Amino acid sequence: MNRTTTEVAIVGAGPAGLMLAHLLQRAGIDSVAIDIRTREEIENTHRAGILEQDSVRLLVDSGVSDRVHRDGYRHDGIELAFGGAGHRIDFQGLVGASTQLYPQTDVFIDLADARVRDGGDVRFGVRDVSVADLTTDRPVMRFTDAEGVAHEVAAKVLVGSDGSRSICRHEFPEALRRQFFREYPFAWFGILCEAPPSSEELIYSHSDRGFALISQRTESLQRMYFQCDPREDVADWSDDRIWEELQSRVGANGYVLKEGAITSRTVLPFRSFVQEPLRHGNLVLAGDAAHTVPPTGAKGLNLALADVRVLAEELERHLRSGAADALDSYAERALQRVWRAQHFSYWMTTMLHRLPDASDFDVRRQVGELTSIVSSTAGSTYLAEGYTGWPS
């Protein structure tokens, strides 16, 4: 067993864990981050693609990425499509903010490159991960590295940023934790296709046949989704069948999609989840380990980055000034934003998707709600504020 020490041991080296390690290093705080996945596995998992303006700022100002401006696309609004037409929500005009289309996989690559550049200690492809002694002042993280060597890292604080299949969140004694869940009776069928963009901005499309989202990646690669049954089997969907479904959903609102070969198809489950508290002894949770949102509001990655921005600040207070309230203060500050984002994601989801047993009343009511949003400056501003990200 190889025994070492560090200040912060980070379980999970996705965007949350790596951004935390980066911010800590800038504050002069040592960390070790581990992940059971290899770097290649993480790079090849397609996730969402929209960054709030403060997420962009964090990546640029902390020295992670200038590529986000170069290779990303600034979006000054979205289209809300329903009732036969598109209605633009003008983020710049309403709240003076934009979002950036820049896929999570690129955020991860930039963060992983920055760790290599700055000599950070990150181990991918580890196994047998466990944490122990959480309520002592010397909690430990154990793992076997990719070469088969067993390690024990003693730290001052452990961070569980190990995603929606977190092992760390199960370390909270059942009597002390609460888990808040909401399941949805639908999922998204997501595709990547080789085609030019069909729209410059995202189209969120409500229709009688269900929701569809038209997103982009590059000049020649596009990302699109349509609402489907959670048990849908991708093998049942030929390219033709997928295009027919997508075209009919956006066609109802006056759009025509540019088609191309479909290179990836996945069913994405929908869930809202929060575990409280975020702290147990010297273990804290961040990102998807602590909470999951449905993808409709594009909040998942942004929320994870917001968590670790606050966590890095509070860890610095804790480790440098001995602030006794710092870890609880992190939990309280992070949870405020988490529940706002839970509401926003739930709201966007329920406003735009068709419930399997929806009555005509339900569908007309949704159109009434969407009309209220697009025909009122107050309504549109509410959406624009939430979508581009509340100030921290």
Chain residues in the site for ligand PHB (CB under 6 A): 48-50, 202, 213, 215, 223, 295-296, 298
Cβ 161 vs Cβ 11: under 8 Å: yes
Residue 71 has φ and ψ, to the nearest 5°, of -100, -10
Does residue 258 have an active-site annotation? no
Name which of 48 and 370 has its Cβ closer to ligand PHB.
48
Does residue 387 have an active-site annotation? yes
In the complex, minimum distance from the CB of residue 103 to ligand PHB, in angstroms, rounded to a whole number: 7
Pairing of strands 178-183, 271-276: antiparallel
Name which of 179 and 220 has its Cβ closer to ligand PHB.
220
Token representation of residue 165: 């299949």
Cβ 103 vs Cβ 301: under 8 Å: no
CA 52 to each of CA 9, 97, 98, 226, 302: distance values in angstroms, whole numbers, following the listed order? 28, 9, 7, 23, 6
Residues near 158 by Cβ (< 8 Å), separated by ≥ 6?
Answer: 8, 9, 10, 11, 131, 134, 139, 141, 168, 282, 283, 284
Name which of 51 and 126 has its Cβ closer to ligand PHB.
51
Does residue 225 have an active-site annotation? no
List the catalytic residue out of 299, 318, 330, 353: 299
Sheet containing 150-154: which strands, arranged edge to edge?
Answer: 2-5, 150-154, 140-144, 127-132
Q: How far apart are CA 243 and CA 227, in angstroms?
A: 13
Q: Cβ atoms within 10 A of the Cβ of 267, count?
A: 16
Element (H, E) at 105: helix 104-117
List the catalytic residue out of 295, 318, 330, 353: 295
Residues near 74 by Cβ (< 8 Å), separated by ≥ 6?
Answer: 98, 99, 100, 101
In the complex, minimum distance from the CB of residue 207 to ligand PHB, in angstroms, rounded to a whole number: 17
Does residue 73 have an active-site annotation? no
Task: Catalogue the E-assigned strands of 30-139.
Answer: 31-34, 50-51, 73-75, 77-82, 85-90, 99-101, 121-123, 127-132
Name which of 221 and 323 has its Cβ closer to ligand PHB.
221
Name which of 53 and 282 has its Cβ closer to ligand PHB.
53
List the catalytic residue out of 15, 22, 75, 206: 75
CA 156 to each of CA 13, 20, 25, 119, 165: distance values in angstroms, whole numbers, following the listed order? 18, 15, 15, 21, 24
Token representation of residue 147: 């070469």
In the complex, minimum distance from the CB of residue 104 to ligand PHB, in angstroms, rounded to a whole number: 8
Catalytic residue numbers read: 75, 204, 295, 299, 387
